[in-house]
């Protein structure tokens, strides 16, 4: 099978990178933000994630979904991973996430997100001509770290309940990648990352000072 390259350019309303204490301008006053309490996030959600520059992201690979685009199998590193990212805010923490849902998942998960008081900012497709059909629900919220983490867990648990299994429990084999990644890097002027045989580029927009509720939006949290 010939190598296939997928490019995904997605701009999400998300959050910024903070290493220690970060200051945000709130009209005429400056407020100091406290670093994330990662231990609370991990203990409350029951998940381990990835920390980068003071931000934290948990990811659930959708290993149980056998999605194909024009007969080509899509594996989680190609854009089939649910994630929620956390960043400090004046209320404690802000989150942005992207939930991958089947048509069966959509209604009950949407109801759960609303029940938890979280915001739905988009529901759309990232792939075309894919089978089975999967949709991407972008969500957000802010508040006390423990309370927000509980809300995130409730939504992820709802997906598990609807599917009757944990999406990440199945195993997915790596793919063989024969693409000349160095040549690609030289052509594009960026360096990608290899994951399970998928070579992926994440290209941020440092030229745009995007903010959501006075919190800067980073590449790590989806502005790419």
Interval 176-181 mean pLDDT = 90
- By the 10 Å C-beta count (0-12 exposed, 13-18 middle, 19+ buried), 157 is classed as middle
- In the chain, the percentage of residues whose pLDDT exceeds 70 is 86
Reply yes or no on whether the pLDDT at 217 is more than 80.
no
CB distance 21 to 34 below 8 Å: yes
CA 48 to CA 171: how far, in whole Å?
A: 18
Reply yes or no on whether the pLDDT at 219 is more than 90.
no
Model pTM score: 0.82
Reply yes or no on whether the pLDDT at 182 is more than 70.
yes
pLDDT-wise least confident of 17-26, 73-82, 92-101, 116-125: 17-26
Instruction: State the DSSP code for 223.
Output: B
Candidates 2.30.110, 1.10.3470, 3.30.450, 3.30.1460; CATH matching 22-170+210-216:
3.30.1460
Return the closest-CA partner of residue 3 out of 203, 223, 204, 194.
194
Pairing label, strands 198-200, 193-195 = antiparallel
Total Cβ atoms within 10 A of residue 57: 20
Q: Where are the alpha helices (DSSP H) in the chain?
A: 38-45, 103-115, 145-163, 181-188
CA 198 to CA 200: how far, in whole Å?
A: 6
CB distance 61 to 84 below 8 Å: no
């Amino acid at each position: 099978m010939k190598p296939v390259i997928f490019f995904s350019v997605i701009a999400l309303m998300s959050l910024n990178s903070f290493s220690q204490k970060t200051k945000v301008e709130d009209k005429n006053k400056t407020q100091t933000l406290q670093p994330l309490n990662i231990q609370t996030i991990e203990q409350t959600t029951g998940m381990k994630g990835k920390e980068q520059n003071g931000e934290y992201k948990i990811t659930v690979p959708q290993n149980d979904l056998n999605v194909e685009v024009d007969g080509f199998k899509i594996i989680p590193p190609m854009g089939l991973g649910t994630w929620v990212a956390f960043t400090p805010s004046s209320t404690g923490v802000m989150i942005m996430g992207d939930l991958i849902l089947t048509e069966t998942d959509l209604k009950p998960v949407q109801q759960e997100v609303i029940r938890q008081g979280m915001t739905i900012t988009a529901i759309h497709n990232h792939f075309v001509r894919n089978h089975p059909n999967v949709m991407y629900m972008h969500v957000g919220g802010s508040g006390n770290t423990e309370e927000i983490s509980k809300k995130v867990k409730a939504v992820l648990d709802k997906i598990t309940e609807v599917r009757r299994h944990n999406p990440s429990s199945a195993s997915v084999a790596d793919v063989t990648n024969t693409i000349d990644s160095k040549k690609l890097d030289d052509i594009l002027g960026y360096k990608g990352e290899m994951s399970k045989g998928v070579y992926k580029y994440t290209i941020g927009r440092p030229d745009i000072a995007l903010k959501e509720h006075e919190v800067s939006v980073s590449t790590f949290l989806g502005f790419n």
